[in-house]
Amino acid sequence: MPVTPPWTAAAKALADQVTAGAPAWHDAVSHTPRHLLVPRWWQRIPNSPFVEWELVDPAEDSARLLRAAYADDTLVTRVGSTHADHARAGERRTGDPTSSSTLPGLIVSMADQLEVRPGERVLDVGTGSGYSAALFSRRFGDANVTSVDVDPYLVKAARTRLAGFGRTPRVVAVDATGELPDAEYDRIMATVSVRPVPASWLRALKPGGRLVTTITGTALLITADMGADGVARGSVQPDPATFMEVRQQADYPAKLNDVFEAARVYDGEDVSVLDGAIPDLWEDWPLRWLYELETPGIEVRAASYPDDRRRVLWLLGEDGAWARAEGGTTAVVHQSGPRRLWDGLERVLRRWEQNGRFPLHSMRAELSAEGSRLMTPGGTWSFPL
């Protein structure tokens, strides 16, 4: 009598958890050995003064590996330019994640929204560990799945590990913002965020095809269907999703530490007193994302000082513009550089309030190779993508 591997019970339990609203994916999740795709990973060190990570390297088939691999959690596989596969035991790294195995529940939710039909060709943008490609291949067949990633090592590792349990989708190393391996796809799902939406995706998406992606700097998840006129129309979905930005190099550009140092230390060229409290752009995430849509690429930092009940919010631009809002008895804003970033944030807030503080999932999307945009209800405000 064949022995059932210990991972199968864990995979089934994960499937029971994450496919309750998408039962058609239960078989794929319960038959995909995620632990083989993510044997090692980076774990954030809590309360470290920097964004620091430690390597997790559990024994093969250990309870720790199975517990982590079959939890509905994201596992970070690459920090900066260092993949966990290439790290030494006990190694630590600082920096931002550059690849991961996304939490399975989010992958299932996005894949279900894609509404793939049998025989349709799927493009999976952002191979990562290969988990989403494995799910698509299990359900729709290897021949119908193409997965792409900019990182040759990720592609090689995923291809090898997928083949180790019989999955052979096409996995290609390519910059997905450029030309794609094939000219036509019925469905495109991206587990990297983009802005602009690449023209190559929209040229390759067949009429009647569907695209699911997120917008860089936000957690806005967009689903859009391609029309016969070459325009994909859709909307922002109610549930947010955050992904790493698509990249062309081994790592992301450095943080704006030089700008931050000036913003932290100096008085601004313009100094003003706020009428109200400083917005909390972590709690009031719709405002933060609207500001990102209106003014892309602003780095936001914040700090709290419990001793004097003071909060500080910084807005930093790569052109040297900065703003610092300091709370306390009186909230004061300092601004310097070629733009007045705080003024821009206040304009966005006023306009949002004038439009009734609409929920962001009420926005409509129009995406085409010639240009894309998000539009507010009534079309009174639009954001080029």
Nearest to 78 by CA among 121, 41, 123: 41
Query: What is the per-residue pLDDT for 208?
Result: 98
Contacts with 159 (C-beta within 8 Å, 6 or more apart), sequence order: 130, 171
Region 19-37 average pLDDT = 98
Q: What is the mean pLDDT of the chain?
A: 95
Q: Where in the chain is the domain with CATH 3.40.50.150?
A: 6-74+100-236
Q: Where in the chain is the domain with CATH 3.30.160?
A: 257-354
**Cβ pair 18, 72 in contact under 8 A:** yes
Nearest to 226 by CA among 246, 202, 193, 252: 202
Q: Is the pLDDT of residue 327 over 70?
A: yes
12: exposed, middle or buried (Cβ count in 10 Å: 0-12, 13-18, 19+): middle
| DSSP H or E segment with residue 134 | helix 131-140
Region 157-171 average pLDDT = 98
Provide the pLDDT confidence category of residue 12 given band limits of 50, 70 and 90.
very high
**Measured between alpha carbons, how far is 336 from 323 in angstroms, rounded to an integer?**
7
Q: 6-18 and 104-114 helices cross at what angle (nearest 10)?
A: 60
The more confidently predicted of residues 311 and 141 is: 141
Query: What is the per-residue pLDDT for 47?
Result: 80
**Structural tokens at position 117:** 């039909």
193 bridge partner residues = 214, 245
Whole-prediction pTM value?
0.95
Query: What is the per-residue pLDDT for 276?
Result: 83
Domain 6-74+100-236 in CATH 3.40.50.150: yes
Say which amino acid occupies 380: T
Q: Is the pLDDT of residue 137 over 60?
A: yes
Give phi and psi for 192, each to the nearest 5.
Answer: -130, 150
Helices (H), ranges, 246-295? 257-265, 285-294
Provide the pLDDT confidence category of residue 282 given band limits of 50, 70 and 90.
confident
Query: What is the per-residue pLDDT for 140?
Result: 98
pLDDT in tens, 169-186: 999 999 999 999 998 999
**Measured between alpha carbons, how far is 242 from 231 in angstroms, rounded to an integer?**
25
Return the CATH fold of 257-354. Double Stranded RNA Binding Domain (3.30.160)
Q: Is the pLDDT of residue 309 over 80?
A: no
Region 113-124 average pLDDT = 97
Query: What is the per-residue pLDDT for 379?
Result: 87
